[in-house]
């Protein structure tokens, strides 16, 4: 009688553990999707911030009177240089945040894979959500797929290179005429 009671207790404990793992699984999947949304928002915010700064610069200097760098004060030149170099900093910070977010997603994904292994085993006939994602990550991708692949390093690299180029050219011009 005590053996049956003991087995019933173990069964209940394993049901509780399975339920807890399933709740953790759902929570982790939700967290991964939230982090991906966060990264997408970061791209839009970074691009918007960079575009906004350049829109202000272009709209300010596309009409008369133009800023005459050779006769501008040091404070004016410094302010202009800060505006020119700010997008470069935005691109770098966005890249750093994107990588941090992606590293967190990969840690969460590993925990999801562990739960799936416990539930389905190592070689399930129908792989779990994260196992399937891992399989898909290992497949060769086209250029456009790689461009859109997290942590979006290509996007941030393009932002960085373009903003850096504009900042260097502008700074060189100012240095030449000032």
Q: Is the pLDDT of residue 1 over 60?
A: no
Backbone dihedral region for residue 127 (phi beyond 0: left; psi -120 to 50: alpha; all else: beta): beta
CA dihedral 27, 30, 31, 37 (to 10 degrees): -170
Would you call 76 helix, strand, or coil by DSSP?
helix
Query: Rounded mean pLDDT of 38-58?
Result: 85
CA distance 26 to 159: 35
Q: Is the pTM of this model over 0.95?
A: no
Tokens 């290179």 sit at which residue? 161
CA distance 59 to 63: 7
pLDDT digits (tens, 9 = 90+) for 95-152: 888 888 888 888 988 888 888 787 777 666 666 766 677 777 777 778 777 766 776 7
Banded pLDDT at 72 (limits 50, 70, 90) = confident
Question: Which residues touch 128 (CB under 8 Å, ≥6 apart)?
Answer: 112, 113, 115, 116, 119, 120
């Amino acid at each position: 009688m005590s053996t049956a009671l003991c087995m019933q207790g173990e069964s209940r404990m394993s049901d509780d553990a399975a339920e807890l793992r399933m709740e953790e699984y759902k929570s982790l999947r939700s967290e991964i999707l939230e982090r991906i949304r966060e990264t997408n928002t970061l791209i839009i915010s970074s691009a918007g911030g960079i575009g906004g700064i350049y829109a202000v610069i272009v709209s300010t200097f596309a009409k008369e009177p133009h800023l005459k760098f050779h006769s501008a004060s040091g404070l004016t030149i410094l302010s202009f240089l800060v505006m020119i170099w700010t997008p470069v900093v935005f691109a770098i910070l966005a890249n750093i945040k994107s990588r941090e977010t992606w590293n967190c997603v990969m840690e969460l994904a590993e925990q999801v894979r562990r739960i799936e292994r416990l539930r389905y085993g190592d070689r399930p006939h129908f792989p779990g959500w994260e196992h399937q994602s891992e399989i898909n990550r290992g497949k060769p991708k086209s250029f456009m797929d790689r461009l859109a692949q997290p942590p979006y390093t290509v996007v941030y690299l393009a932002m960085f290179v373009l903003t850096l180029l504009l900042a260097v050219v502008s700074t060189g011009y100012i240095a030449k005429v000032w």
